[in-house]
């Protein structure tokens, strides 16, 4: 068996997320179907993480094993000829036998994009969350500063319907930056809880709207209980941006 790494970009609009599931097309299913057509082998593609329905990826690393050796160029060219146009292999490379796209990741970065203006340009409707009312970015930045660091983020996650060893995570970066009408929330950590980034974005939007004070962050973390104060922001604004190894 030979192991390969793929770096995959995708528009998640038409898909039920990364992971194969019985009720909906997924990125993983598309990749595995294309690989079978290309190689004749039934393989499992392991991604660095599970993006939700409607979430996008600028660069999602993945790995797979093949019985018959292929050149990286064969894999990249062949897969892109078979995949739908909203999924593309940016890079294919031979990988060490022990490389694991998820377990070897040491940090991940997500970016959440908000269009903060009265009108959302139609070409951006699938890639930005529209908030027409002017947001208080300074308040969002203060709240983000209170959330950065090592905390128990139980108040900022949804039930993944699977056991979770710990809800403690370290957010090494949580930045809010405004450029023109676009506000970008950048979150970087060793790993994230289920829907954690969308929960952080949802809370920060409420802070920007004046519905929550920035100083509430400490109380929210201490509560360790999900409430209506932390809505899950819509998926279309979220991108898996980068993964480090």
Distance CA 26, CA 15 (A): 5
Q: Which residue has the tokens 């203006």?
A: 117
Q: Which residue has the tokens 């040491």?
A: 106
Q: Which residue has the tokens 């950590």?
A: 189
* Whole-structure pTM value: 0.95
> Do the domains 2-94 and 107-244 sit in the same CATH topology, yes or no?
yes
| Catalytic option among 52, 65, 69, 152 | 52
Residue stretches of the chain with pLDDT short of 70 = none
Distance CA 179, CA 117 (A): 12
CB 51 within 8 A of CB 12: yes
Q: What is the structure's pLDDT at 26?
A: 98
Q: What is the structure's pLDDT at 213?
A: 96
Active-site residue, 52 included? yes
Residue 46: closest CA among 95, 89, 6, 97? 6
The CATH code belonging to domain 2-94 is 3.30.70.580
Q: What is the structure's pLDDT at 44?
A: 98
List CB contacts of 187: < 8 A, sequence separation 6 or more: 109, 110, 111, 112, 171, 173, 174, 196, 197, 200
**107-244 adopts what CATH topology?**
Alpha-Beta Plaits (3.30.70)
Q: Which helix (H) or strand (E) holds 28?
A: helix 27-39
Q: Domain residues of the chain, as ranges?
A: 2-94, 107-244
Q: What is the structure's pLDDT at 16?
A: 97
């Amino acid at each position: 068996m030979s192991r390969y790494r793929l770096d995959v970009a995708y528009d998640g609009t038409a898909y039920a997320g990364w992971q194969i599931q019985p009720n909906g097309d997924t990125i993983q299913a598309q990749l595995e179907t294309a690989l079978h057509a290309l190689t004749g082998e039934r393989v499992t593609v392991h991604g660095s993480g599970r993006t939700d329905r409607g979430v996008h990826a600028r660069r999602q690393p993945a790995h797979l094993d093949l019985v018959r050796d292929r050149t990286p160029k064969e894999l990249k060219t062949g897969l892109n000829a078979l995949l739908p146009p909203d999924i593309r292999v940016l890079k294919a490379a031979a990988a060490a036998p022990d490389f694991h796209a998820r377990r070897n990741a040491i940090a991940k970065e997500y970016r959440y994009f908000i269009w903060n203006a009265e009108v959302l340009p139609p070409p951006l409707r699938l890639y930005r969350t529209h908030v027409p009312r002017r947001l208080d970015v300074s308040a969002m930045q203060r709240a983000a500063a209170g959330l950065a660091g090592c905390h128990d983020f139980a108040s900022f996650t949804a039930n993944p319907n699977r056991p979770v060893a710990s809800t403690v995570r370290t957010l090494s970066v949580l930045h809010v930056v405004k450029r023109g009408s676009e506000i970008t929330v950048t979150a970087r950590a060793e790993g994230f809880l289920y829907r954690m980034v969308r929960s952080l974005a949802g809370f920060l939007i409420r802070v920007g709207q004046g519905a929550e004070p920035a100083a509430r962050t400490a109380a929210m973390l201490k509560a360790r209980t999900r409430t209506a104060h932390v809505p899950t922001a819509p998926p279309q604004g979220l991108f898996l941006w980068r993964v480090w190894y």
